[in-house]
Amino acid sequence: MSNPIEGVNESVLVKNLGLVSYVPTFEAMQQFTINRDETSQDQIWLLEHHPVFTQGQAGKPEHMLAPGDIPVVQADRGGQVTYHGPGQFVAYVMIDIKRRKIGVRELVTALEESLVQVLARYDIQAYPKPDAPGVYVNEDKIASLGLRIKKGRSYHGLALNVDMDLSPFNRINPCGYQGLNMTQMADLCEQVELSNIQLQWLEQFGRLLALPMQIVDIVESKKSVSHSGIQS
């Protein structure tokens, strides 16, 4: 992590947005990134989305097999098409990686490794693939990644399948891979609670990149997370 800059809050502001529509959230994330400056506090948004397919910048229409009544939105992240829906943990990571001296590969690795560590708590043996971003369990995909870096600042992030309807993934070639099977935590373990998984992921991600967290809008109570753990 870089040396502190005068006037900059070095903690990351974490907001829990709940269940939200994709387009206004995407637009707000873009505007935050466009309008921020070198002193803006980094942010992470935790949320779920109403059902939506999103196409990445490299998205090919042939990977949209039968979207039906689920809307399709063109996004400006990397990657191909994916699905978001209730019961999926989404984290949008808006970090000034240039200011913090974090490389893009380092950020991607931290996103993947933090998910692997969270899943390990539930005795789920997961792993990333060097040639296919995301996190996998027995060759099935359980989490997707998609980022955009603009002027040294990241946005978009990750999506972890927790306890959701996976059937919409059958309407696409997930992430551009024909026949790729998707899985979720609820099919691999018992007693998954999305709010717990959010906090567990924040703890791991913050530890890997030495990012202190300032959490707001968590329903149970206000909490803070440092890279050494969670504090009430």
The residues annotated with a catalytic role in the active site are 175
Which residue type occupies 3? N
Instruction: Give Cα 57 distance to the centre of its chain.
Output: 17
Q: Which amino acid is at 40?
A: S
Cβ 130 vs Cβ 171: under 8 Å: no
Please give the C-alpha separations between residue 146 and each of 12, 55, 59, 195, 199, in angstroms, as whole numbers: 20, 10, 12, 22, 21
Q: Name the residue among 57, 49, 72, 66 with its Cα closest to residue 164.
A: 49
**CA–centroid distance for 101 within its chain:** 20
85 by Cβ neighbours in 10 Å (0-12 / 13-18 / 19+) ranks as buried
Calculate the alpha carbon distances from 89 to 74, 189, 193, 212 in Å.
20, 16, 10, 21
